Amino acid sequence: MGRESSEQRCAWGLEIGGSAVRLVQIAQRDGRYQVLRFHEAALEERWSASLGLREALAKLPPPPEGEPIVLCVADEWVLYRRLDLPSLEREAMEPMVQAQAEAMLTLPPEAMAYGWDRLPAPTSNGTQPVLLCGARREALESCLSAVESWGRPMRVVPSGVACAAACGAILDQPASRFVLIDVAARHTSLVVFHDGRACAVGVLDQGGDQWTESLAQAMGVEAEQAEQAKLAWASGEDSSADQAAAMQGAVQRWGGELAHVYQRCLDQIGGEPAQACVLMGRAARTPGVREVVEAGLGLRVVETASAAGLEVSDGWPLEALWTPVGAALHALAAPSPSITLVSNEPEVAPPSRRAVHSRVLALAAWSLLALAAWYALDMRAADRLDAQAAQWRAESAQGMPAAQALALGRYLEQQPPPPLFMLDELSKRCAREVTLSEWRYDGQGRLRIKGVTRGVAGLDTTLRQLADSPAVKEVALRSATVKDDVWTFEIEMQMNPLHRYLALLGRPAQSTSSDAAPATKETP
């Protein structure tokens, strides 16, 4: 709602009163309000059957797009009633209020417009006070059609409700319980405030125009002339005694009627009187009105020359601003009470049952779809992995199964080194003077060699070096005979398994189950 420009929100209020139409633009910033624009156009033909509403509206500048606008109509078109209903949910109270509205307006439902809101309940006796406003739909729609050329959607609220909203939001509260009296051309609205909130509304169908008519009768002139005379008298110009008496009498009668309205309002809210009164409306400046109110209603009248929460440019009449400002406040936010009689704004309807069902179904369908996709992905992954494993097995089966190949490898690593490596070791480890004549390898890791050497040193060296060989596990001299210092000998060796041989060479094989000994050579 409202255009936001550096936290400033703007809105418009249009008042169609009994004597003039007024348009204001207000801005809200940091909890304060400022009247930016004010336009007023008099209803020139208000004394005739036609008000001349379209002609007056044509003199006002149309509000720009994007800034909300609320229209308020004069209370003379509106009936107010305060109801005490069982305290229920709003939906449950709606039929009761509608029945009361039909009884109040005695109109078929299609011909009436009504709105209602809860009022603060001073006592907690289980009932909920409700303010009900009703009007003829035709009259309200004629107002809307008069501003149709602006091409703006708007709501219609009663003047009393708008004025109460403005008073509750902006006015310095003179007392915890006070009365707002808005004296308009053809009616007078009376709102009782309790702790800053409107709790009762009364309307008197008499205003400044009735005083003009009384003066016209006394002077025997037309209404327009009487109006001029009334304004001259109100501004302090000289007037005849008859005119003054006629005016004072009219104001006195108005005061008496207003006292009845006030008393009815007090009866509705428990009878406790207010402590102060605020007068609004141009007619309230008529001499004698203040005294009549103070005497007739027994209330202290408080001046409203300024309002702490509202900034108004000099020259703009504050008393004429309250009602359109209240309408603009309705456009900015929904003050309390918030009562809309009719509206041509597009409704933001809550989602229908069907829409809710559709959303739930869509959510369920998406969930099912996601679940199905998850399931399908899992099935696909399982099939793919199964196929991979099967393919790997098939590839392995073409050669040797991996487990069998590993077992075979382990078997081969348990075997001694092939004879070539034994021979290599023998050639490296036997002493130079040793000559081998026979060697036998039995396939069980045992190697017997026979040979001759001159001197025992060669035999001794050979035995020691063979014992150091990584291929040899154990070395034993089986026989040795000497003749002329020529030694004939037979040596038996137990060869290391291949994996140990590799480990001792510094090329460790994988550990085997049968041999986990450290790769160190034991010297026999």
Partner 1 sequence: MRLSSRDKKALMLGGLVLAALIGLRYVLMPLNDSWRDARQRIAQAGDTLQRLQDQQLQLRAQHRRLMDFYGPGLAQPLPTAEQAGVEFVKTVEDLLKAAGLGSQGVQAQPVRPLREVPGVAVVGLQVQLAGRPEQITQCLASLCQSRQPILVQSLTATKPGKDGDQQLNVSMVIATLARWEGGR
Query: Does residue 195 contact residue 178 with C-beta atoms inside 8 Å?
Result: no
Residue closer to partner 1 (CB basis): 232 or 405? 405
Residues 406-445 that bind partner 1 (CB under 8 A): 406-409, 411-415, 417-421, 423, 435-443
Nearer to partner 1, 405 or 476 (CB): 405
Q: CB under 8 Å to 86, separation ≥6 — which residues?
A: 93, 96, 126, 127, 128
Q: Of 72-80, 169-177, 224-232, 405-413, which segment contacts partner 1 by CB under 8 A?
A: 405-413
Q: Hey, how many other C-beta atoms are within 10 angstroms of the C-beta on 504? A: 17
Q: Is 365 in the site for partner 1 (CB under 8 A)?
A: no
Q: Which residue has the tokens 């299609």?
A: 110
Structure tokens at 23: 């348009």
364 binds partner 1 (CB under 8 A): no
361 near partner 1, judged by CB under 8 A: no
- For 315-360, the three-class secondary structure string (H helix, E strand, C coil) is CCCHHHHHHHHHHHHHHHCCCCCCCCCEECCCCCCCCCHHHHHHHH
Among 93, 80, 88, 84, which residue's Cα sits nearest to residue 132?
A: 80
With contacts defined by CB under 8 A, name the span among 38-46, 51-59, 141-149, 384-392 that binds partner 1. Answer: 384-392
Element (H, E) at 38: strand 32-42
Shortest separation between residue 420's beta carbon and partner 1, angstroms: 4
Question: φ and ψ at 135, to 5 degrees?
Answer: -155, 165
Q: How far apart, in Å, are the Cα atoms of 198 and each of 160, 168, 173? A: 10, 7, 12
412 near 512, Cβ under 8 Å?
no
Rule CB under 8 A: is residue 127 a binding residue for partner 1? no
> What's the distance, Cα to Cα, between the start and end of the chain in Å?
103
Closer residue to partner 1 (CB): 56 or 498: 498
Cβ-based nearer residue to partner 1, 344 or 414: 414
Tell me which residues in 478-517 interact with partner 1 (CB under 8 A): 498, 502, 507, 509-510
Asked if residue 277 lies in contact with residue 302, where contact means CB atoms within 8 angstroms, the answer is yes
Residue 363 binding partner 1, by CB under 8 A: no
C-alpha to C-alpha distance for 33 and 38, rounded to whole angstroms: 14
Work out how close the CB of 405 gets to partner 1 at its nearest, in angstroms, rounded to a whole number.
5
Q: How far is the CB of 140 from partner 1 (least distance, A)?
A: 41
> Residue 398 Cβ, how far from partner 1 at the closest point, in Å?
7
> In angstroms, rounded to a whole number, what is the distance separating the alpha carbons of residues 327 and 307?
17
Cβ–Cβ contacts within 10 Å for residue 92, how many?
11
- Does 357 help bind partner 1 (rule: CB under 8 A)? no
The residue (of 5 and 415) whose beta carbon lies closer to partner 1 is 415
Binds partner 1 by CB under 8 A, chosen from 365, 373, 382, 477: 382
Verify binding: residue 379, partner 1, rule CB under 8 A. Answer: yes
Q: Which is nearer to partner 1, 150 or 421 (CB)?
A: 421
Least distance in angstroms from the C-beta of 460 to partner 1: 23
Does 393 engage in binding with partner 1 (CB under 8 A)? yes
Please, what is the minimum distance in Å from the beta carbon of residue 404 to partner 1?
Answer: 6
Candidates 48-56, 139-147, 159-167, 398-406; binding stretch for partner 1 (CB under 8 A): 398-406
Query: Using CA atoms, how far apart are residues 341 and 101, in angstroms rounded to an integer?
Result: 12
Comparing CB distances to partner 1, the nearer of 394 and 517 is 394
Instruction: Map tokens 């998850």 to a residue.
Output: 374
Taking the least distance from each CB to partner 1, the nearer of 362 and 407 is: 407
Residue span 5-34 as binding mask against partner 1, x where in contact by CB under 8 A, dash where not: ------------------------------
* Alpha carbon distance 447, 490 (integer Å): 10
User: Could you say whether residue 320 binds partner 1 (CB under 8 A)?
Assistant: no
Residue with tokens 């069980």: 444
Taking the complex as a whole, the smallest distance from the CB of residue 6 to partner 1 amounts, in Å, to 57
Closer residue to partner 1 (CB): 224 or 378: 378
Q: Which residues 196-235 are close enough to bind partner 1 by CB under 8 A?
A: none
Among 360, 405, 457, 476, binds partner 1 (CB under 8 A): 405
Give the nearest distance from C-beta 422 to partner 1 in angstroms.
9
- Using alpha carbons, select from 254, 257, 232 the residue that is nearest to residue 243: 232
CA separation, residue 62 to residues 13, 23, 37, 370 (Å) = 12, 9, 12, 54
Please give the size of the binding site for partner 1, defined by CB under 8 A. Answer: 48
Q: Which residues contact 136 (CB under 8 A, 6 or more apart)?
A: 77, 105, 107, 111, 112, 113
Diameter of the chain by CA atoms?
A: 180
Distance separating alpha carbons of residues 15 and 185, to the nearest angstrom: 13
44 binds partner 1 (CB under 8 A): no
Which of 389, 456, 482, 486 forms a contact with partner 1 (CB under 8 A)? 389
Closer CB to partner 1, 366 or 392, in the complex? 392
Of the candidates 404, 479, 481, 511, which one interacts with partner 1 according to CB under 8 A? 404
Instruction: Verify binding: residue 378, partner 1, rule CB under 8 A.
Output: yes
Write out the residues near partner 1 by the rule CB under 8 A: 375, 378-379, 381-382, 385-386, 388-389, 392-393, 396, 398-400, 402-409, 411-415, 417-421, 423, 435-443, 498, 502, 507, 509-510
